[in-house]
């Protein structure tokens, strides 16, 4: 999908946890008063076919939400051999008010999993700014028997936050992936994992930290 195209799918704007006001021990500042704007440059991957992902920014500018409607991996039974792994890479253009920069402080992922006894699954994600090194994947494993909604959270300590360069436009990349392994589950039994809530759309929330750029 190329830049400028609107992404389909239901958009859910969640009420995000408000990040702390300025604190000398953390460096956090209140979100800038001007609204941030996030445009999707590209969306690529087997977990986010064209028209099945969308991005929305919360009203308080402390978070943005990505929704999916066709992000499912499965294994076992008559599953397609390639269906065990699904991925999605979002390339976002984040327009930040002048004098501020941001980092992703935490990310909340939600979905549903049905894993047979002996089956396993994993949800993983990594983050990086264009032109910088990709961060290591953060992994969240799951094991069968399991048949319920799931949630995973990636949290970054303040000292390890990767900030957008001040005064330079750098696209922000988010790589996510889900994998399912039939393992020792009974032959013919299917296990699956989705980034997909009960109403058909998964809500992935990225909480943003803010700080003032030097010289502001």
Q: Using one digit for the tens of pLDDT, what is the confidence trace for 99-138? A: 888 888 889 999 999 999 999 999 999 988 888 877 878 9
Query: Contact 120/75 with Cβ under 8 angstroms?
Result: no
Q: Are 122 and 178 in contact (CB under 8 A)?
A: yes
Tokens of 56: 């929305």
- The pTM of this model reads 0.77
Q: What is the pLDDT of residues 184-214, one digit of tens each?
A: 999 999 999 998 633 334 457 888 888 888 8
């Amino acid at each position: 999908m190329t830049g400028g195209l609107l992404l389909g799918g239901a958009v859910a704007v969640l009420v995000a946890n408000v990040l702390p006001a300025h604190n000398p021990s953390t460096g956090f500042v209140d979100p800038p008063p001007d609204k941030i704007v996030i445009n999707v440059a590209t969306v690529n991957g087997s977990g986010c076919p064209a028209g099945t992902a969308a991005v929305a920014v919360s009203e308080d500018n402390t978070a943005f939400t990505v929704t999916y409607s066709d992000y499912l991996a499965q294994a076992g039974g008559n599953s397609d051999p390639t269906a065990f792994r699904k991925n999605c890479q979002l390339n976002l253009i984040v327009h930040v008010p002048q004098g501020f920069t941001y980092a992703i402080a935490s990310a909340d992922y939600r979905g549903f999993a049905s894993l047979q006894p002996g089956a396993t699954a994993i949800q993983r994600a990594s983050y990086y700014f264009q032109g910088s090194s990709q961060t290591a994947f953060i992994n969240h494993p799951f094991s069968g028997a399991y048949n319920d909604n799931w949630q995973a959270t990636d949290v970054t300590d303040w000292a390890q936050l990767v900030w957008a360069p001040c005064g330079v436009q750098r696209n922000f990349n988010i790589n996510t992936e889900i994998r399912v392994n039939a393992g020792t589950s009974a032959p013919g039994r299917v296990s699956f994992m989705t980034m997909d809530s009960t109403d058909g759309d998964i809500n992935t929330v990225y909480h943003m930290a803010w700080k003032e750029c030097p010289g502001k």
